[in-house]
Structure 1
Amino acid sequence: MDLQTKLASEPFSDTEKAVVEFFIQHFDSVVDMTTLEVAKRTFTSNASVVRVCQKLGYKGFNDFKLKYLTEQKKDSQQVGKPDANFPIQSGDDVRTMAANIATLKEAAIAETKSLLDYGQLAKVIDLLEKAETINVYCTHSTIAHAKEFQYHCMRINKRVIVASGPGEQDYYASRSSEENLAILLSYTGETRETIGDARLCRYGGTKTISITSFGQNSLSEVCDYNFFIPPWEKYYSKIGQFASSAGFSYILDLFYSGIFEKDYLANYEYMLEHTARLGMVQINRKMADF
């Protein structure tokens, strides 16, 4: 787990959150600052700064900075992780852009993998395989990942319903039962409609699975199982969702792969049979055009 992910993972008071936010926003300059300078910049106290560092498992601010230096050295040895919010800059040539986006996505997947609970993953795959219907609740920013998961599952005759609009989400959530399984996608974990749908699903006896950014949030608190992606992106000031997109896709790909593996030969044969049928339909359509 990288240091920025760890910063987002611990419970802090409102005063301590100011220090944490400063650490995250000024990651590059913190190493050259003193405890007093951080306290002044955050309108807190030396004790608050030290307390944050201790909650993160360090002896104090100097020990925290030492960890930061270690992390920076590790990053530089790995060519460095681009800024998740601005992985490209004005004037970048195509080679630089290609390298930065690839490096960022690789880093995001590696970090998502490090946050996995394999015991929980195996249990959730069992539930997914046995569920009569899987409902995916998402917003416009995550619908592409949900649709891709739905398409994969469709090819092995697994029923997946994607609900993306508030009315549509509420409709399915209010009718959800023990025969359903719900996957809820929200980067912030604070999407009001998604949290409400999670509660509705649980009320109907449906097991709920969240995919959200790492740390404390409302969605993970109300779901039965939680899978996390790196909290590297700012909500507004970013040029794209490159890191979170990689995280969402990776976890949903794991879910699909797990379902497929449960009955590998039968799923493969079904996929081949229906791919062949689709091919015949396309051939017949082309012939009809002549």
Structure 2
Amino acid sequence: MDLQTKLASESFSGTEKAVVEYFINHFDSVVDMTTLQVAKHTFTSNATVVRVCQKLGYKGFNDFKLKYLTEQKSDSPSAEKLDANFPIQSGDKVQKIATNIAALKEAAIEETKSLLDYVHLQEAVAILESAETINVYCSHSTIAHAKEFQYHCMRIGKRVIVASGPGEQDYYASRSNEENVAILLSYTGETRETIGDAKLCRYGGTKTISITSFGQNSLSDACDYNFFIPPWEKYYSKIGQFASSAGFSYILDLFYSGIFEKDYLANYEYMLEHTGRLSMVQINKKMSDI
């Protein structure tokens, strides 16, 4: 698990949070500091710094720093430490931009993979495959990912409804039952409408699956199954959703791939048949336009 993901997921006291925030915001300099220096910069104590490290599963501050050194010295471009909020800077050449965005997306997918619970994934795929209808509740930047998932499922005859507006979401959630499965997308996990929809769905007997940032939040508390993406992005101060976008797409692709695999041959034949029909319609339309 990525160190910053781990830091964001643990429960810390007020003074411990000051140390955690310092670790996150001063990633490059912490490796050269002593316990006393960190304590002075955070207005805490040596004991507090050591306690934070121990909560994270390390023997002490020196053992904790080894994790930083391991991450920093990695030669793999996908493991290069990038700021997910500002992966590019003013003046960057196009080659640098291409390298940074690719590295960030690769790292986000790897981190999302490390957060998977494969037992839950298998169970979630099974209920998605058997559901009469899959309802995806989303808003803002997650709509595009939901639509892509809907398109993939449409090609194999799987009914998916994307509910993206408050009124539309409430309509489907209030009528949801045990024949449906709900997938709820929210990066923060604190989107009020989405949390309400999760509760409405569960009240109707619907199994609920969340995709949200790693760590405890209201949406994950309200759902039956939870799948997590890295909590690397700030809500407002970022230039794009590069990391979270990669995470959302990856998990939804896993859902679709799992559904497809459940009846591989039949799904493939269905896809070929209907793609062939669509091709004939397009050919006939072109011929009529001549």
Q: TM-score range by the shorter chain?
A: over 0.9
Task: Give the whole-Å Cα distance in 1 for the aligned partners of 2:23 and 2:104.
Answer: 21
% identical aligned pairs: 86
Partner SS state of residue 86, structure 1: coil
Aligned equivalent of 1:155? 155
Contact 2:188 2:212 (8 Å CA) reproduced: yes
Cα distance in structure 1, aligned partners of 2:13 and 2:132: 43
| Deviation, structure 1 residue 251 | 0.6
Distance 1:67 1:277 in 2: 55
Matched, 1:269 2:247: no
Whole-angstrom distance in 1 between the partners of 2:288 and 2:42:
71
> Which 5+ residue runs of structure 2 have no aligned equivalent?
none
Equivalent position to 2:76, from 65, 75, 78:
78
Provide the residue aligned with 2:210 in structure 1.
210
How far apart are 1:195 and its partner, in Å?
Answer: 1.1
Partner of 1:94: 94
CA RMSD across the alignment: 1.5
Deviations 1:31-88 (A, max 9, x none): 23333443343344433322211110112222212222222223xx213233211111
**Distance (whole Å) between structure 2 residues aligned to residue 177 and residue 170 of structure 1:** 13
Q: Secondary structure at the match of 1:157?
A: coil
Match of 2:182 in 1: 182
CA distance in 2, matches of 1:49, 1:191: 33
Which residue of 1 is the match for residue 61 of structure 2? 61
> Offset of 1:231 from its aligned partner?
1.3
| Aligned-pair CA distance for 1:9 | 1.7
Counterpart residue type for residue 61 of structure 2: F
SS at match of 2:167: helix
> What is the CA-CA distance between 1:139 and the residue it aligns to?
1.1
Is the Cα contact below 8 Å between 2:71 and 2:81 reproduced in 1? no
Q: Which amino acid aligns with 1:89?
A: Q
Matched residues in 2 for 1:195 and 1:143: separation?
16
Question: 2:229 touches 2:248 (CA, 8 Å); kept in 1?
Answer: yes
- 2:223 is the counterpart of 1:198: no
**Higher mean Cα deviation, 214-223 or 65-74?**
65-74
The answer to whether 1:3 aligns with 2:28 is no
* 3-state secondary structure, aligned to 2:12: coil
Tell me the distance in 2 between the aligned counterparts of 1:159 and 1:18. 48
- Equivalent residue, structure 1, for 2:17: 17
Give, in whole Å, the separation in 2 of the partners of 1:263 and 1:99.
38
TM-score normalized by the length of structure 1: 0.94
Residue 28 in structure 1 maps to residue 28 in structure 2: yes
8 Å Cα contact 2:9/2:216 also seen in 1: yes
Report the CA distance between 1:11 and its aligned residue: 1.7
In 2, Cα distance between the equivalents of 1:30 and 1:235?
25
CA apart distance, 1:220: 1.1
Deviations 1:83-121 (A, max 9, x none): 211111111111111111111111111111111111111
Count of paired positions: 288
Q: Equivalent residue of 2:85, what SS? A: coil
Q: Partner of 1:57: helix, strand, or coil?
A: coil
Flag structure 1 segments of 5+ consecutive residues without an equivalent.
none
In the aligned structure 2, how far is the partner of 1:156 from the partner of 1:268? 7
1:200-231 CA-partner distances (Å, limit 9, x unpaired): 11111111111111112111111111111111
Maintained 8 Å contact 1:10/1:216? no
Query: Residue 261 of structure 2 aligns to a residue in which SS?
Result: helix
Greater shift, 30-39 or 267-276, is seen at 30-39
Q: Compute the TM-score of the two structures, normalised by the length of structure 2.
A: 0.94
For residues 22 and 41 of structure 2, the distance between their equivalents in structure 1, rounded to whole angstroms, comes to 8
**SS of equivalent to 1:181:** strand
Structure 1 letter corresponding to 2:86: F
